Structure 1
């Protein structure tokens, strides 16, 4: 009855349009399950902003939930930046309703006296992050659901530094939004305050992408690199070919069937480069064209997937940790060559990513910093450490940030960086894959694996919640025959050494993450996703690799170990 009463408030024609009223009435009359899903809670901000299924309801993405967000932000801007002309820049992706939602959001901001800049068509998320600082805006909004299924859309918020919302702004803004009613939202836009951007912003981003992602690669080396690329029906098609062409990469083959933006993502089951099947067509094109490198992005172009030639000459996908490690190595090496490492630099990654990031970074006498999952936390590290130069950083979920000109994961510049690395290594008779194995010999072999269990709807949310409760109430004592020696609970912000019984504080913001470490260095993390109906398990194992000849043997051994762990945890 509580949900029904909540839904009936959406039948008010003084607040909601006729189409919305009819949709809600249909839910009330004929679809009780969907009604419950649509209204049982308010859609919340997670690690990547607000993301959800489109439709009528408080737990859905629609013009009213987005309008309420925008009204709350506009009110907050007036409060914290009084007597200023407030400015916001808005971008949107290829998804259904993204353009319409973008203009509804623009109406609300302009109705509140905010100067709005909006891109004339779909654009990558990193370009939005860049534009916040470049245009001197107070905030930025991008309408996107990243790599989620077609029925989703979302709303990411960026602040003055170009990074996503973090404390204290996020809670202050959320409180203001929660205290609003839908009748408080002003949709009466002021067209005089809405300005479409031209190509100038694109050109500035392209130039800075090349400046930050291009390193000491000769014209001849770039000409010889053979690349196959897919945008997975998303936004990167508007920028990446231009960046690579301007940098001098002439052998670029594009998957034509996936080049046209399409919110249905008709050629893939999931437009997520984390899923190997998403890059199937790009891999086929790469084999046909004899490519050295295959690259692809998710729909809003913040995540990238890559495939390189393995020791047998076949194209092989790298996982997110491997891609991140290789880009970090290349950046550190190039900074070292250019004598830019002065002792005031740092690299960043996240608590669920490979431990190899820290080992590799510190081998260059560069500081390593670790954050919670999500690039907003990496951006916050940059903001909180202005005395340090940020070299680069990433996380296991196929995201990377090159330098400090964009403060979110950036597949555009990252792909350029990968091309530079591949071109240089090819010129030396080597490859990304061979160099990766050399790094394993030098620093230790690390193997990671992700299991993501999808749990949709109200029941799914309860299952995820209960799974985390069970892991805390009945903690693991051992895994694969290895004793657990350390448990980190980021919800209580406490860590416990199970051998000595000592506890210590974890000095990061609270988060629903639990991490186990074994006596042999195995690491297992459990974490509900902040943007999808999933609970994720991150497994990391490691060992010494004495020579490149032992690589295949040790990989098979650790693949078997990971399978045993997955089975033991009952998460297959």
Structure 2
């Protein structure tokens, strides 16, 4: 055992820490050297958007002290940025173990620093927090959540005054402040007069805004004929989505009762992740019983959604995030076009690892397409940086979508309503969500994407992920499935390389540990270590022409075979 780790752990036996914490630290010192190493070998990183990690004692864990230190840093930075102002912060939390108590710790620290706190009285969806920041005229927002991570995780997301998550320069400035602090600098003693609990007033305003942004006259008269199955996967969306659907006029909503109660153990699923087919199994089973048209499931903090719809022969089929956002974006563009609102001053936003088809679709309407790094904070930054443009909508492949800018983060509440609006409208016309997707493939090309996630836990895993990225940079692929690589974008070095021309072009985008290969035939392969999980992710995109919806199954199978060959090329 590294003596430095032991010394670091022993510092947590001082009077700065409560007795329960000291007892737990002493126990792992005495009995669990592996846990001791994992808990103290590093400081849990406050990344560019916040923190996420396993709960427990130690510097590499989510607990009252690591969150307290981060909150102390944020408090100091807020005072620097908003001098002589009455600073206000909104705080929300999800269904995870300890989320409510940790949210109170965070509220205490802010109030101890003289900052007014609006604290939700119970669990709420993350997009409602983004909304509340602007609605309550706050300078900052915090949500305690670990999204779809396993039950032992929790996290801490930071939002700025525009309702979007932290972006440069605020993120690095806060990181520097936090790293300069000691645990003894944390002010834990709350000023109760500065903590105000909030609930129904913000709920009502958010629900009304969601209906206003997610409803369209195209679906008038059709909503009551759509059969919907909804599951909250034991998360926060149960507090908002049913009432929003009801307000919008959807009367046939079947809720998966076994998954309706918030529960941080997520007892009915292996993972509360709507990207995973297994997570929506109970909802799909209920849809078959009810002969429903659409199934929607949301992750625990209700910022992402998974959708299943009927295919051309009536089978319930799961869509991926790219497919969902293609149809959603088409619908929004079509509504803006019908309303004569497209005048060259609009844009759609997405991310560098999402489907290239979104750019093709958007530009076919004469609308500008903007692309940023992974994460909705970059789409929010696009809105902030371009007030002269109207934001129509945007999404990313990881099952997130945002309609308009009343919320500046991915929003499964309004996106759920939008998906139902589209389905109701298409059903009334004798079509469907799935059939429209196939028609868009015929118009713009058939794009097929595949995500490969490789999990590497712990110290060794982090080293392996780092080495994989080094190898990809130092020994770049020259061909992929026999196609010549014509462009390599390295977002870490901010350079794009054209290997055939021996040309280097600067990338005008913030740096990030992402590497993307493009081939001569339009294949795209991206590699990116996850910023919130012990994973490295590979994103594969292939495409070809589709001249008829009747040929979709055959051409899609051919593209799937091509993806399998690419996976083999990559060693999977």
Range of TM-score over shorter length: over 0.9
Counterparts of 1:219 and 1:494, CA distance in 2:
49
- Residue by residue over 1:527-551, the C-alpha shift from the partner in whole angstroms, topping out at 9 and shown as x without a partner, is 0000000000000000011111111
Show structure 2 runs of 5+ residues with no match. none
TM-score by length of 1: 0.99
Aligned counterpart, 1:422 = 423
What is the 5 A alignment of 1:556-571?
556-571=557-572
TM-score by length of 2: 0.99
Residue 220 of structure 1 and its aligned partner are, at CA, apart by 2.6
Residue 315 of structure 1 and its aligned partner are, at CA, apart by 0.6
Confirm whether residue 406 of structure 1 aligns to residue 407 of structure 2: yes
Aligned counterpart, 2:178 = 177
Residue 219 of structure 1 and its aligned partner are, at CA, apart by 4.3
Residue 218 of structure 1 and its aligned partner are, at CA, apart by 4.4
Runs of at least 4 residues off by over 6 Å: none
Counterparts of 1:308 and 1:438, CA distance in 2:
15
Please say if residues 46 and 70 of structure 2, whose CA atoms lie closer than 8 Å, have aligned partners that are also in contact. Answer: no
Question: Does the residue aligned with 1:45 lie in a helix, a strand or coil?
Answer: coil
Counterparts of 2:258 and 2:48, CA distance in 1:
32
Aligned counterpart, 2:89 = 88
Counterparts of 1:361 and 1:468, CA distance in 2:
32
Counterparts of 1:510 and 1:4, CA distance in 2:
35
Counterparts of 2:13 and 2:193, CA distance in 1:
32
Please say if residues 47 and 530 of structure 1, whose CA atoms lie closer than 8 Å, have aligned partners that are also in contact. Answer: no
Confirm whether residue 512 of structure 1 aligns to residue 513 of structure 2: yes
Please say if residues 70 and 105 of structure 1, whose CA atoms lie closer than 8 Å, have aligned partners that are also in contact. Answer: yes
Residue 217 of structure 1 and its aligned partner are, at CA, apart by 3.7
Please say if residues 48 and 172 of structure 2, whose CA atoms lie closer than 8 Å, have aligned partners that are also in contact. Answer: no
Counterparts of 2:259 and 2:369, CA distance in 1:
38
- Residue by residue over 1:26-80, the C-alpha shift from the partner in whole angstroms, topping out at 9 and shown as x without a partner, is 1111111111111111111346521000001111100000001111111111111
Does the C-alpha gap of structure 1 residues 230 and 48 become closer, same or farther in structure 2, counting only changes over 3 Å?
farther
Counterparts of 1:61 and 1:307, CA distance in 2:
34
Counterparts of 1:541 and 1:506, CA distance in 2:
23
Counterparts of 2:132 and 2:537, CA distance in 1:
32
Question: Does the residue aligned with 1:546 lie in a helix, a strand or coil?
Answer: coil
Question: Does the residue aligned with 1:515 lie in a helix, a strand or coil?
Answer: strand
Counterparts of 1:23 and 1:508, CA distance in 2:
44
Counterparts of 2:333 and 2:60, CA distance in 1:
44
Counterparts of 2:333 and 2:182, CA distance in 1:
50
Counterparts of 1:220 and 1:227, CA distance in 2:
16
Confirm whether residue 527 of structure 1 aligns to residue 528 of structure 2: yes
Does the C-alpha gap of structure 1 residues 536 and 545 become closer, same or farther in structure 2, counting only changes over 3 Å?
same
What is the 5 A alignment of 1:198-277?
198-277=199-278
Please say if residues 55 and 62 of structure 2, whose CA atoms lie closer than 8 Å, have aligned partners that are also in contact. Answer: yes
RMSD of equivalent CA atoms:
0.8
Counterparts of 2:261 and 2:208, CA distance in 1:
24
Counterparts of 1:213 and 1:429, CA distance in 2:
22
Please say if residues 111 and 192 of structure 2, whose CA atoms lie closer than 8 Å, have aligned partners that are also in contact. Answer: yes
What is the 5 A alignment of 1:168-567?
168-567=169-568
Question: Does the residue aligned with 1:323 lie in a helix, a strand or coil?
Answer: helix
Give the one of 7, 10, 13 matched to 1:8. 10
Residue 248 of structure 1 and its aligned partner are, at CA, apart by 0.5
Residue 288 of structure 1 and its aligned partner are, at CA, apart by 0.7
Aligned counterpart, 2:160 = 159
Residue 139 of structure 1 and its aligned partner are, at CA, apart by 0.2
Please say if residues 49 and 167 of structure 2, whose CA atoms lie closer than 8 Å, have aligned partners that are also in contact. Answer: no
Aligned residue pairs total 570
Counterparts of 1:531 and 1:189, CA distance in 2:
30
Please say if residues 39 and 58 of structure 2, whose CA atoms lie closer than 8 Å, have aligned partners that are also in contact. Answer: yes
Aligned counterpart, 1:141 = 142
Show structure 1 runs of 5+ residues with no match. none
